[in-house]
Structure 1
Amino acid sequence: MRRHPVGYRYAYAMFELAKEQGTLEATLEDLAVVSQVFEDSNLLDEGFRHPNITDEEKKNILTETFSGKVSTHVLHLLLLLIDNKRIDVLDPIVDNFKGLANEARGIAEATVHSAKALTEQEKSAVATVFAKRAGKAQLIIRNIIDADIIGGLKVRIGDTVYDGSVANQLARIQARMIHGNVSR
């Protein structure tokens, strides 16, 4: 998880509040809804950056849009971001909150590069094996098809990369042949 300097502070405060009130899952879902609405409507770029829209109008738009659809804490966060001229930090807040929530629940996200799409059974097997290696209770797999790896897998969990791809093995063999370090 990359920590955004400002976004992390807001996310951490929201995380502590959600944890204290036992609403971690609900807050995570609410933030995902807000993020999706902003992405789908392009509200941030087209609406909130317009110089003729006042902060009060922005707050009214947010209140009308999200009142009753998300928790009051998430709505208050949005209004606070308008007051502090930080609404452009919403995506890093959501990302950092998701990372904090996943960490608290023992969940990690993994990017798995493979030459072909993995089946659900293969994803499950990879998740089980690498969750143990990463010391996590659960692993959420995002599969990326990359024909350049030829075969095998390349798994990235946070900053750790497990590279068992055929392309990597060939590169290591080539390096040993070039340097004359052929081990038996």
Structure 2
Amino acid sequence: MAKLVSKIYGDALFEEALEKQEVDALFEEVKALLSIWHENEDLAGLLDNPKIGKEDKTGIIKEVFSGRISDTLLFFLIIIVEKGRQKEINAICNYFISTVREYKKIGVAHVTSAVELKADQKAQLEKKLLETTSYVEFEMNYSVDPAIIGGLVIRIGDRVIDSSIKTQIYELRRSLSKLQLT
């Protein structure tokens, strides 16, 4: 049910963004809204409180966000609250962001290395990913995990490219355990 709600509302916001030619602006606004939402759990709790009426909740939305976000996004948040879907704001925003990324062919890559990569290595990696995928841009996320010993683990969506030494050792161990000595 939650996926259906986020899809319906996320698609509606995306269609509105396309119609008003505000895709880029709303994309950035929704990403900022999502980080604000995560940082201010009290706001989400306040909007989820069943003792507070919808009129008061929409008043809170107006007071907090009016003049700080576009009218399109403000009215969209008000509609969500009026329909009692404020618990889904996080999922709706995430769905909208992923829809825009797909529309703009922006990939999200999560790269894990054993040591911190240098700037030129990061640039080379991003260039190689752009050449080998259908994406025109990447949002790169880097992390360091010494446990992989060496190599890289790259995750793009549900695809994983694992060239880590740790995995190679594991595969070698598995292959050797299948050998039977006579």
TM-score by length of 2: 0.90
Corresponding residue of 1:162: 161
Q: Distance in 1 between matches of 2:153 and 2:118?
A: 16
Corresponding residue of 1:123: 122
Question: Where does structure 2 lack aligned partners over 5 or more consecutive residues?
Answer: none
| Counterpart contact for 2:31–2:97, Cα < 8 Å | no
| Counterpart contact for 2:37–2:44, Cα < 8 Å | no
User: In 2 relative to 1, CA 33–148 (structure 1 residues): closer, same or farther, beyond 3 Å?
Assistant: same
Corresponding residue of 1:42: 41
Q: Distance in 1 between matches of 2:30 and 2:114?
A: 34
CA RMSD in angstroms, aligned pairs only: 1.8
Q: 1:17 and 2:16 equivalent?
A: yes
Corresponding residue of 1:137: 136
Amino acid across the alignment from 2:172: I
Amino acid across the alignment from 2:58: K
| Counterpart contact for 1:114–1:147, Cα < 8 Å | yes
Q: 1:84 and 2:83 equivalent?
A: yes
Question: Where does structure 1 lack aligned partners over 5 or more consecutive residues?
Answer: none
Corresponding residue of 1:108: 107
Corresponding residue of 2:66: 67
| Counterpart contact for 1:128–1:138, Cα < 8 Å | no
Indicate the SS of the match to 1:4.
Answer: helix
Hey, which bits of structure 1, 4+ residues long, moved more than 6 A? Answer: none
Q: Distance in 2 between matches of 1:23 and 1:45?
A: 26
Give the superposition deviation at 1:34.
Answer: 2.2
Give the superposition deviation at 1:94.
Answer: 1.3
TM-score by length of 1: 0.89
Indicate the SS of the match to 2:153.
Answer: strand
Q: Distance in 1 between matches of 2:176 and 2:69?
A: 60
Aligned residues: 179
CA deviation string 1:78-116 (max 9, x = no partner): 111111111111111111111111111111001111111
Counterparts of 1:145-156 in structure 2, within 5 Å, are 145-156=144-155
Amino acid across the alignment from 1:164: S
